[in-house]
Amino acid sequence: MEQIKLYPLKFDPIYQYRIWGGRRLSKLLTKPLPENELTGEAWILSDRDDHPSKVTNGPLAGKTIKELFEQLPYELMGQYVNRFKRFPLLLKFLDCQQVLSVQVHPADDEKKYIPQGENGKTEAWVVLETGDDAIIYAGLRPGTNEATIRESLGKHNIAEDLACFKPDVGDCVLIKAGTVHTLGDVVVFEVQENSDVTYRLYDWDRVDEKTGKPRDLQVEEAIACIDFSKTDICPVTPQVEVAERILCEKLVEDEHFSLWRNTGSTTFMVGKENTPHVLICIEGHGELESNNEFYPLKKGEVMLIPAIAGACPFVPKGHAILLELGIGSSH
């Protein structure tokens, strides 16, 4: 592998059954969904031991992101080569046909509630599709405390303690670790810290048809991880960075990741020198040019630009919307 120069990489989506899932990801992704199963998640870039993403294009096809991280660390990660033990972000599409459990994720410094080898989880969503019952619960209502939450759990009306809004397509929501949240009847793109630590506070008293039992709750851990200052979370206000030939909006700049949305039909630059970036095409299609080669990218696909590739032009073929993701703050 040392003889192969790293190039822009595409990956095969990994589908996941979820009790709250549906079939709407078939409109976004070309890989067929599992038959007769509620598909809630497509993991489109995952460096997880149990579900590692595999490259689908070029001479490295079949290699996992984990293998590339271990064998070509500098070419892949650039300035972040010694900072992480694995690729630090996990990317997904979610089809939330029903509302998810009411849940919370611990922050990185809450070591007591983070299993060995894991970390906390801050995440963000970009809404791609909404149904008639679309809703996002994000944060608590002001004045909510541990006592009111415990009382509401006893009465099975925890929703009354949660701030909520009806989302629109294009909304971006940043869910910092410690924020109580859930969402339903939407399809979203999700970026998160590479963590699988979720504590369920409430699951709407439903039964998993596969097991015939309710799913486990972790009420004490969830309450311990709640940041009660996180109230009334609303969609972010995009910051327009370029609006001449294309519309470039910065959606999120967090210590863990930065997220932009590029909309237009003329060539624009993506990627950054000595830093890995990820592209997610959510509308239209186009090509990325790197080292005099062209790499096609269409709706529903993800492409990892390795650090060694630097900044590259993306050429839309007609109108396209491209999300671009960087590690950490963009400053």
Tokens standing for 114? 């983070």
Please confirm, yes or no, whether 200 is among the known catalytic residues: yes
> Quick one: DSSP state of residue 6?
P
d(CA 208, CA 221): 22
Amino acid in position 322: L
d(CA 153, CA 156): 5
| Maximum CA extent, the chain | 63
β-bridge partners, 304: 9, 278
First to last CA, the chain: 33
Side-chain half-sphere CA neighbours of 309 within 13 A? 27
Other C-beta atoms closer than 10 Å to the C-beta of 62 total: 10
The active-site residue, picked from 18, 24, 200, 261, is: 200
Catalytic residues: 200
